Chain A
Amino acid sequence: MSWLIWRQQRQQALFGSVTFALVAALLVLTGLHMHTVFDDSGLGRCLAAGARGDCGDVQSAFESRFATLRQLVPFFMVLPLLVGLFWGAPLVARDLEQGTHLFIWTQGVTRPRWLASRLAALLTFALALAAGYALLISWWLGPLDRSTGDRFQPGTFDQQGIVPVAYVVFAFALGVAAGAILRKTLPAMAATLVGFVALRLIVAGVLRRHFLAPVTKTYVPLPGVDVNHPGAWVYSQKTVDGAGHRVAEFTIGSVCPPTKVSTTATLDRCVRLHGFLNTDVFQPASRYWLFQGIETAIFGGLALVLLALAVWWTRERVA
Chain B
Amino acid sequence: MSAVLEARGLGKRYGRQWALRDCTLTLPAGGVIGLVGPNGAGKTTLLQLAAGLLAPTAGEIAVFGCDPRDAKAVLPRIGFVAQDAPLYRGFTVAETLTLGRHVNRRFDARWARDRLAGLRIPLDRKVGELSGGQRAQVALAVALAKEPELLLLDEPVASLDPLARRDFLVALLDGVSERGISVVLSTHLISDLERTCDYLVLLMDSEVRLDGEIDRLLAEHRLLVGPRTRPRTGGGIAQIVRESHSERQSTLLVRTDGPLLNPSFVQHEVDLEELILAYMGEQPEPQLHALPTSQVTA
| Genuine A/B complex | yes
Interchain CA distance A108-B76 in the complex, whole Å: 5
Contact call A319/B86, Cβ cutoff below 8 A? no
Assuming the contacts A105-B53, A107-B104, asked whether A98 and B80 have C-beta atoms less than 8 A apart, the reply is no
Contact call B72/A110, Cβ cutoff below 8 A? yes
Q: Which residue of B lies closest to A8 (CB)?
A: B88
Q: Tell yes or no: B99 within 8 A of A by CB.
A: yes
Contact call B91/A7, Cβ cutoff below 8 A? yes
Contact call A103/B53, Cβ cutoff below 8 A? no
Interchain CA distance A106-B75 in the complex, whole Å: 6
Contact call B48/A319, Cβ cutoff below 8 A? yes
Contact call A102/B103, Cβ cutoff below 8 A? no
Q: Tell yes or no: B54 within 8 A of A by CB.
A: yes
Q: Tell yes or no: A227 within 8 A of B by CB.
A: no
Proximity bits, B71-109, A CB within 8 Å = 1, else 0:
110011011101010111101000100111011111100
Proximity bits, A306-319, B CB within 8 Å = 1, else 0:
00000000001001
Q: Tell yes or no: B51 within 8 A of A by CB.
A: yes
A97 to chain B, nearest CB (A): 11
Q: Which of A78-93 contact B (CB under 8 A)?
A: none
In the complex, chain B residues whose CB is within 8 Å of the CB of A109: 75, 103-104
In the complex, chain B residues whose CB is within 8 Å of the CB of A7: 91, 95, 99
Q: Tell yes or no: B139 within 8 A of A by CB.
A: yes
In the complex, chain A residues whose CB is within 8 Å of the CB of B87: 100, 103
Proximity bits, B101-141, A CB within 8 Å = 1, else 0:
01111110000000000000000000000000000000100
Q: Tell yes or no: A146 within 8 A of B by CB.
A: no
Q: Tell yes or no: A4 within 8 A of B by CB.
A: yes
A313 to chain B, nearest CB (A): 13
Q: Tell yes or no: A35 within 8 A of B by CB.
A: no
In the complex, chain A residues whose CB is within 8 Å of the CB of B89: 98
Interchain CA distance A110-B79 in the complex, whole Å: 14
A5 to chain B, nearest CB (A): 10
A301 to chain B, nearest CB (A): 29
Contact call A103/B86, Cβ cutoff below 8 A? yes
Assuming the contacts A3-B98, A4-B99, A108-B76, asked whether A100 and B86 have C-beta atoms less than 8 A apart, the reply is yes
Q: Which residue of A lies closest to B88 (CB)?
A: A100
Q: Tell yes or no: A104 within 8 A of B by CB.
A: yes
Q: Which residue of B lies closest to A108 (CB)?
A: B104
Q: Tell yes or no: A111 within 8 A of B by CB.
A: yes
A105 to chain B, nearest CB (A): 6
Interchain CA distance A319-B98 in the complex, whole Å: 25
Q: Tell yes or no: B146 within 8 A of A by CB.
A: yes
Q: Tell yes or no: B55 within 8 A of A by CB.
A: yes
In the complex, chain B residues whose CB is within 8 Å of the CB of A110: 71-72, 75
Q: Tell yes or no: A248 within 8 A of B by CB.
A: no
Contact call A111/B99, Cβ cutoff below 8 A? no
In the complex, chain B residues whose CB is within 8 Å of the CB of A105: 53
Assuming the contacts A108-B105, A316-B55, asked whether A99 and B82 have C-beta atoms less than 8 A apart, the reply is yes
Q: Which residue of A lies closest to B53 (CB)?
A: A319
Q: Tell yes or no: A1 within 8 A of B by CB.
A: yes
A14 to chain B, nearest CB (A): 15
Interchain CA distance A103-B91 in the complex, whole Å: 13
In the complex, chain A residues whose CB is within 8 Å of the CB of B76: 108
Which of A3, A8, A102, A111 is B82 in contact with, Cβ under 8 Å?
Answer: A102
Interchain CA distance A99-B44 in the complex, whole Å: 13
Interchain CA distance A114-B80 in the complex, whole Å: 17
Interchain CA distance A108-B54 in the complex, whole Å: 17
Assuming the contacts A100-B86, A100-B87, A106-B51, asked whether A4 and B72 have C-beta atoms less than 8 A apart, the reply is no
In the complex, chain B residues whose CB is within 8 Å of the CB of A3: 98-99, 102
In the complex, chain B residues whose CB is within 8 Å of the CB of A106: 51-53, 75, 78-80, 82
Interchain CA distance A98-B103 in the complex, whole Å: 19
Contact call B80/A102, Cβ cutoff below 8 A? yes
Contact call B82/A107, Cβ cutoff below 8 A? no
B103 to chain A, nearest CB (A): 4
Further contacts, 12 of them, CB under 8 A, given A108-B107, A110-B72: A1-B102, A4-B103, A99-B82, A99-B84, A103-B87, A106-B52, A106-B75, A106-B78, A107-B75, A108-B146, A109-B75, A316-B55
Chain B residues with CB under 8 Å of chain A are: 48, 51-55, 71-72, 75-76, 78-80, 82, 84, 86-89, 91, 95, 98-100, 102-107, 139, 146
Interchain residue pairs with CB less than 8 A apart (8): A4-B99, A100-B86, A105-B53, A107-B146, A110-B72, A111-B71, A114-B103, A319-B53
